[in-house]
Structure formats: structure tokens, C-alpha cells
Amino acid sequence: MENQRLFLVIALMFVLFLIWQAWVEDRAAKNPPTPVATTSAPTAAAPSPAGVSTPQQQDVPNVATPADSKPLEPLRSAQRVRVVTDLFEAEIDTTGGDLRHVGLRTYPKSIEQKDEPFVLLQDNRTELFIAQSGLISDSGAAPNHYAQFVPEQTEYRLQEGQNSLDVRLTWTDPDGIKVVKTYTFQRGSFVIDLSQRVENGSSQDWRGSQYRQLQRTPPPKQSGGLGMGVYTYTGGVISTPDKKYEKISFDNMAKKDLSLEVKGGWVAVIQHYFLGAWIPDQSETNTFYTKVTGGDRYILGMVGSRQIVPANGSTTFHNRLYVGPKIQSTLEELTPNLRLTVDYGYLTIIAQPLFWLLKAIYSVVGNWGWAIIILTILIKAAFFKLSETSYKSMANMRRLAPKLQSLKERYGDDKQKMNQAMMDIYKKEKINPLGGCLPIVVQIPVFIALYWMLLESVELRQAPFMLWIQDLSTKDPFYVLPLIMGATMFIQQKLNPPPPDPIQAKVMMALPLVFTVFFLWFPAGLVLYWVVNNVLSIAQQYVITKRVEALGAKA
């Protein structure tokens, strides 16, 4: 069995999997799931307690919210409150006190638009992603995200030497209920603290709950060359004591509403490199829920247990909202399991140490491209002996290729006699034709884990390497690296024993061209890894092949 052929077939299966994944994403973008018609407003109604409460949670008020009776309509908007900090350019709408716009100032939109922040939250109709919060009550008035708040001022800016910024909006009811919603922005932090203070100036107890939710439309279709792109998961995720990390896709939301009582945990909507997450107090019990409204708006949120505010008393509901990049160290410090939103899939156990090592190398060399190269060298060194076994097997097979070809000519179509003669030669030469399979198979999970690690790491976003490679997370603008990779694959083919079957030989010779086309639109960081790995493999295989051939000549 020819070992390199096995490796290429497995690698081709992996690329075909990526193409299939891209096709699935493409289909989903063209035909988003259509949920059953609902009477909820497209503004993602505050959770109807009847829809999220469970028999064990009788303290959730069983009343309809004002939003449930409203017809479908565009997202409402009133006055905007603009907030500028060292990290954010944000806008809060006085309708509901929603966080409607967040631009990340330290993450430019693109290399060409360095002064324009990447927009994570926005209320654009086709790319909607907003954070909402509110209160619901069965004993008095309560402001949900339709309520009109009054801001203290319409523009805030974090000044030099100022470490925090409070943005207050107030809602009042004629019956004496007052709610002050306060967003607190901290210097150097992507966490936004939100408090909702209820002041009960009436003569009756006020009973109510708070809710927090993220509302999003599916992302527009992404595409790369030839309709192919590199796709990562975009959708909802939750964390509970039972499941540390669980995806709640848009498709799942459309099929069935989620209603799950959870102590602690968090809810989030993630996309490539970034996320928005509501993080409750970990001692607090909430009901996690999903809703679909307006046909294409998906809501993931949580509603807390009922609180009682006595007459002339007050209480404050506290929340934390993370809006920013998937920086693992930051997420790990923030709350348990939020780091898992950097999703390496089933190979996390391999990818996580690889990322740690890559980051450690970067801290020394200060360039992510060189860090990838050094990491590749270290991985290649770790597998040196395994690769050596594989290449020796290939070199011996290459040395025997003329004899095997003569056997084919001698026995023609009599495969039984030909196979027996081949086994006799292997036995005489003390060659195991399967000797190189295991070393290659062992390395494949590492290659795939490294692929996902490089793809998911926000640190590589817009990270320059050298010369024309100014963003390792996007394709090579001049396709130089993919072409070099194709050339190295062709050279590797020449070092391997040719398949005895002419059709197989033609297929194998076509693979470098096929892979080059696939890799044209892969992120440059990934292609850089493959180029360096191939060059090192060629050097090692060339030396081993020459040694084996020299020993064979002496024999």
C-alpha cells in the first residue's frame, strides 16, 4: 500500500468536508428556516412568562406582556444616546433602553479602513444584532423594551483619567413606579454592567422579574472564490451546569422554543472572532428561552425569578453584558466556560495546547506569521521519528517500483499471482508496505486541530506577517502562498513511488492542482502552515530517500 496516497486521500476527504460545510452554510444563507407564524412583534417581545415558565417555577408571573398583542412591525426607534469610550462607539435607544449599536474601536473594520471600528451590534434590518433588557410585572406597571426612557444627556465620552462612565435612563409611571436603567462602561473592559433599579413610590407591593435577551437575524451569505469560503458557526450558545457549552442554532430556534431553568450559566450569540453574551450572577436562577419573531429574527435570552419590592421600597437588578472579541484569557477570567465560545470542536484537547504554545512563541518573536512558522517546526520535530518511519517505507517502495512494475507486466491480469509475488518480494526485502500508515494517521488529528485553532483565533485577525501578507486571517491577495504550496505538493509526488495503476497515477498527479485551487481562498495563516510543513517534509523525505537508495545500491 502506498502511504503518501493514503495521506492525500484522507486530506482530500477533509477538504471535501470543508466544501460540504460551506455548501450547507450557503444553503442556509439562501433559505433561512421559516418558523411558524407568530403574533409576537418583530422587536422580540419580552418573554411571555407563559412561554418560559415551568411548573417548578411558579414565581414567574403568568400574565401576557404588552408586546404580545402588538402586530408585526419594524424595529421601533426614538432618541439615540451616543457613548464613546476607549473601546466602544455605542448607541443606546431611548425605546426600551436597548443597546442598538456597538463599534469596537480597537478592532478596525478592515486593513484598508483602520479608522473605522468593526461593528458588532447594529439595528440594520438585514444584519440586526442588538441587546435588550426590561422588566415584567403582574402587579403593576413595568418597562419592557417598548417603553420610552428619558436620558440624562444624549452624549457621553470617557475622558482622560476617567475609569468608568455611567449612562442613566429613567422611566416613570403615574402610579408611582420609577425605573432607572444604568449602563456602566469601564476603561479597558469589553464588559458593560447594567442595573435596573425599581423604586416603588406606590402604596402597593410591586412584583416583577427582569429579562435580558439578544436578538439577531441570520448573517448574510458569505462567499469566497468559486462560491467557496471558510465558514465558522454563527448562532446561539448557552452554558448550564449540565452542559458547559451547547449550541442553539437558528434552525433549532425555529423548530422549537427553548425553556430551561438554569442556575448560573450564560447565554450568548457568537460569530467568527466576536460574541455578545448576557452573564447573570452565578447564584441566580433564570429561565433560558428562545423565540422567533417576524420570520427572521431570532431571540435568545433569560428571565429571572420574581422579586417583591414593598411600597416605598426599592431593589436593583444587576447584569453583565460582554460585547467584544473572543480573547480566551479575558473570557476565562470573566465567568466559567465562556472561553469555550472559541470553538475548536472535538479536537479542543489538542488545539488548546497548540494555541498556548503559539501564543507563547508570539510573546517572544512579536509576529504571528513567524510564530506559525516556529510552531510548525516544533510540530514537525515532535513527529520526526514517526515521519522518518513513513518516509523510509515510501523510499523502499520507490526503490522496488521497477520490480513491481515488471511483476505487473509478467502476470498481467492475474492479480492473485501478482499479489503473491509482491508479498514474496516484501518478505525478501524485509519491507512492510503498511509501515508508513500509522505515523501519518496519528498526525492527521494534529493537522486538523491546528486548522481550527488558526481559524478561530481572533489574535490572527488583521495580523501582518511580512511583505504582501498584511492579514493572516484572509486569503493571500496575490495567491503566492497557495501556488508555492501546490509546487511543494508536486515535488512531494515526485519523491513518492508511482502507483502501478496508470489511472491512479493520473489522479495523484492532479491532486496538487486541485488542492492549490482549494487553498487559493484559505486564510494566509493556514496556507503558511501547510507551505512550511511541506517544505520540511520534502527536506526530510529527500534525505531519507537518498540514504535508502544508496544502501540499496550497495546491496
**Which has the higher per-residue pLDDT, 435 or 495?**
495
- Residue 62: pLDDT above 50? no
CA–CA separation, 347 and 368 (whole Å): 22
| 200 shares its domain with 327 | yes
Q: What order do you get walking across the sheet with 150-151 strand by strand?
A: 150-151, 164-172, 177-186, 191-200, 314-325, 274-279, 266-270, 235-239, 246-248
Report the pLDDT averaged over residues 389-398.
69
Nearest to 317 by CA among 202, 180, 422: 180
CA distance 547 to 325: 50
Residues 364 and 295 in one domain: no
Could you give the count of Cα atoms lying within 13 Å of 487 in the half-sphere of its Cβ? 9
Shared-domain flag, residues 366 and 432:
yes
pLDDT > 60? residue 228: no
Q: For the chain, how are helix, strand and coil distributed in percent, rounded to 5?
A: 40, 25, 35
More confident residue, 136 or 36: 136
Question: Is the residue at 30 inside a domain?
Answer: no
Percent of the chain with pLDDT over 70: 76
- Over residues 277-306, the mean pLDDT reads 94
Q: Which of 294, 312, 341 lies at the terminal end of a domain, its last residue?
A: 341
> Closest by alpha carbon to 29, among 222, 216, 252?
222
Q: Is residue 469 scored above 70 in pLDDT?
A: yes
Contact between residue 251 and residue 214 where contact means Cβ atoms under 8 Å apart: no
Q: What is the largest CA-CA distance in the chain?
A: 105
Closest CA to 158 of 80, 92, 89: 89
- Residue of 72, 49, 194 lying closest to 133 (CA atoms): 194
Which residues lie closer than 8 Å to 371 by C-beta, 6 or more apart? Answer: 358, 359, 361, 362, 365
Same domain flag for 337 and 361: no
Does the pLDDT at position 395 exceed 80?
no
- For residues 288 and 267, the answer to whether their CB atoms sit within 8 Å is yes
Give the orientation angle of helix 524-554 with respect to helix 384-411, to 10 degrees.
60
Tell whether 40 and 134 lie within a shared domain.
yes
Task: Return the C-alpha cell found at 84.
Answer: 464613546
Does the residue 206 lie in any domain?
yes
Cell of 236: 446561539
Average pLDDT, rounded, for the chain: 81
Which pLDDT score, from 0 to 100, does residue 230 have? 56
Tell me which of 383 and 398 has the higher pLDDT.
Answer: 383
The string of DSSP codes covering 484-521 is HHHHHHHHHHHHSPPPSSHHHHHHHHHHHHHHHHHHTT
CATH number, domain of 105, equals: 2.70.98.90
Instruction: Tell me if 393 sits within 8 A of 411, measured CB to CB.
Output: no
In the predicted model, what is the mean pLDDT of residues 312-340? 96
Mean pLDDT, range 318-328, rounded to an integer:
96
Q: Domain check: are 336 and 356 in the same one?
A: no
Q: How confident is the model at residue 433 (pLDDT cuts 50, 70, 90)?
A: low
Stated as kind and residue range, the H or E segment containing 172 is strand 164-172
519, part of any domain:
yes
C-alpha cell belonging to residue 103? 463599534
pLDDT digits (tens, 9 = 90+) for 12-37: 555 555 544 444 443 443 444 333 33
- Is the pLDDT at 530 greater than 80? The verdict is yes
- 326 and 356 part of one domain: no
Q: Are residues 326 and 363 in the same domain?
A: no
Domain count, the chain: 2
pLDDT at 49: 40
Using the 3D structure, point to which of 318, 341, 364 is the last residue of a domain. 341
Cell output for 36: 411558524
Q: How many CB atoms lie within 10 A of CB 24?
A: 11
Contact indicator for 177, 198 with CB cutoff of 8 Å: yes
Q: CA 458, CA 272: separation in Å to the nearest integer?
A: 8
Q: Single out the residue of 78, 123, 69 nearest to residue 96, CA to CA.
A: 78
392: pLDDT strictly greater than 80:
no
Residue 88: its pLDDT value, please? 98
Q: State the Cα–Cα distance between residues 415 and 99, nearest whole angstrom.
A: 72
Cα distances (angstroms) measured from residue 74 to each of 68, 126, 146, 294: 15, 12, 12, 9
In a domain, 27, yes or no: no
Residue 25 lies in a domain: no
Residue 455 is predicted with a pLDDT of: 86
Higher pLDDT, 89 or 111: 89
User: In this structure, are 171 and 299 located in the same domain?
Assistant: yes
How far is 233 from 160, CA to CA, in rounded Å? 38
Q: Which residues contact 539 (CB under 8 A, 6 or more apart)?
A: none
The per-residue pLDDT for 432 is 63
245-254, 348-357, 425-434, 480-489: the lowest-pLDDT one = 425-434
Distance separating alpha carbons of residues 272 and 91, to the nearest angstrom: 23
Residue whose entry in the numeric block shows the C-alpha cell 489522479: 507
Confidence of residue 59 (pLDDT cuts 50, 70, 90): very low
Whether 260 has a pLDDT exceeding 90, the answer reads: yes
Q: Which of 302, 318, 341 finishes a domain? A: 341
336 and 421 co-located in one domain = no
Phi-psi region of 73 (alpha: psi -120 to 50; beta: other; left: phi over 0): beta
**238 and 330 part of one domain:** yes
Buried b (16+ CB within 10 A) or exposed e, 175-189: ebbbbbbbbbbbeeb
Q: What is the pLDDT of residue 259?
A: 95
| Tens-place pLDDT, residues 478-519 | 999 999 999 998 888 777 766 666 676 677 778 788 888 888
Angle between helices 437-456 and 368-382 (to 10 degrees): 160
Please check the confidence at residue 113 and state whether its pLDDT lies above 60.
yes
- Same-domain status, 385 and 337: no
Question: Confidence band (pLDDT; 50, 70, 90) for 221?
Answer: low
Whether residue 263 is predicted with pLDDT greater than 90 in this model: the reply is yes
Instruction: Please name the residues in contact with 491: beta carbons below 8 A apart, sequence gap of 6 or more.
Output: 538
490 Cα distance to chain centroid: 33
Name, of 22-36, 196-210, 412-426, 432-446, the range with top average pLDDT. 196-210
With 80 as the cut, is the pLDDT of residue 67 above it? no
158: left (phi over 0), alpha (psi -120 to 50) or beta: beta
Pairing relationship of beta strands 274-279 and 266-270 according to DSSP bridges: antiparallel
* Higher pLDDT among residues 543 and 279, named by residue: 279
Q: Does any domain span residue 73?
A: yes
Domain that holds residue 219: 35-341
Does the residue 277 lie in any domain?
yes
Q: What is the mean pLDDT of residues 192-218?
A: 95
How do residues 43-52 score in pLDDT, each as one tens digit? Answer: 334 444 433 3
In the block, residue with C-alpha cell 432618541 = 79
Give the best-scoring range by mean pLDDT among 309-313, 386-390, 399-403, 539-543.
Answer: 309-313
Residue 23, domain member (yes or no): no
Q: Is the pLDDT of residue 451 over 60?
A: yes
